[in-house]
């Protein structure tokens, strides 16, 4: 069964810390975990709600859950008939995660003006303060030392994943390099290095959309 879960940036980081295979535990005041059943509804939340609060970013995650297992949970419509959710009690989430097939994918991302992003963990004397500065540092590194650039992507693979959709959509317009031709190659080179080291996981927005998702997300 294909399900969707709109998340913010912090939840995306927690998913990454679980190797893109599990959703984080709910907080004490969150008794229900509720993935949704269609991409259109997920987009309404990710783009219309998550981009205006907290980390100013909204992502649509997509994942596959065992069909037989999913039938034990009730479906709820909240508002419009397309606002269909699967309600999982928070104390069942650990078992729910074990019934996810493969990795949790990010099929779409949306950003508000206050987005900051994730810092790299290693490889920089002074950590960049936001996603734009981080990408600028990567471009500078690529210009002067390809080996260091390669190491920066490999060592910081999680933060690269978290920032990639922003870099591709918006951040690439905010950086400048002395070698103008390298700027156009920056995102493709990040993509290539990342996938050569993590062949089973697609970067945000790089996953092929299913036919019924295209009218909502393409």
Res 177: pLDDT: 84
- 204 lies in some domain: no
Residue 64: per-residue pLDDT: 97
pTM of the model: 0.95
pLDDT tens-digit readout, 15-45: 999 999 999 999 999 999 999 999 999 999 9
Asked if residue 183 and residue 84 are part of one domain, the reply reads no
Quickly state the pLDDT bin for 69 (edges 50, 70, 90).
very high
pLDDT tens for residues 96-124?
Answer: 999 999 999 999 999 999 999 999 988 88
Can you give the residue range of the structural domain that contains 180? Answer: 131-197
Q: Could you please report the per-residue DSSP string of the chain?
A: -EEEEEE-HHHHHHHHHTTTS-PPPPPTT--EE--BS-HHHHHHHHHHTGGGSTTSEEEEEEEEE-HHHHTTS-EEE-SSTT-EEE-EEGGGHHHHHHTEEEEEEEEEEEE-TT------SSS-SS--SSHHHHHHHHHHHHHH-HHHHHHHHHHTHHHHHHHHHHHHHTGGGG---SSHHHHHHHHHHHHHHHHHH-TTSPPTT-SPPPGGGHHHH-
- 50 and 108 both lie in a single domain: yes
**What pLDDT, on the 0 to 100 scale, is given for residue 123?**
81
Let me know whether 19 and 87 are in one domain. yes
179, pLDDT greater than 80: no
Domains of the chain: total? 2
Are 84 and 143 part of one and the same domain? no
For residue 169, is it within any domain?
Answer: yes
Q: Is the pLDDT at 86 greater than 80, yes or no? A: yes
């Amino acid at each position: 069964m294909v399900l969707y879960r709109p998340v913010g940036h912090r939840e995306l980081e927690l998913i990454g810390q679980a190797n893109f295979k599990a959703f984080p535990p709910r907080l004490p005041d969150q008794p229900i975990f509720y993935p949704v059943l269609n991409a259109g509804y997920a987009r309404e939340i990710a783009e219309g709600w998550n981009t205006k609060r907290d980390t100013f970013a909204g992502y649509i995650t997509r994942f596959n859950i065992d069909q037989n297992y999913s039938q034990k949970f009730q479906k709820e419509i909240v508002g419009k008939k397309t606002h269909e959710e699967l309600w999982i009690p928070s104390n069942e989430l650990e078992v729910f995660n074990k019934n996810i097939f493969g990795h949790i994918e990010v099929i779409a991302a949306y950003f508000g003006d206050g987005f900051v992003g994730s810092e790299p963990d290693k490889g920089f004397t002074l950590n960049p303060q936001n996603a734009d500065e981080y990408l600028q540092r990567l471009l500078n590194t690529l210009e002067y030392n390809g080996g260091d650039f390669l190491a920066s992507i490999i060592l910081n693979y999680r933060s690269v994943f978290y920032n990639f959709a922003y870099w591709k959509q918006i951040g690439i317009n905010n950086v400048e390099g002395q070698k103008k031709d390298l700027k156009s190659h920056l995102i493709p080179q990040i993509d290539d290095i990342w996938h050569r080291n993590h062949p089973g996981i697609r970067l945000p927005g790089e996953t092929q959309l299913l036919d019924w998702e295209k009218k909502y997300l393409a």
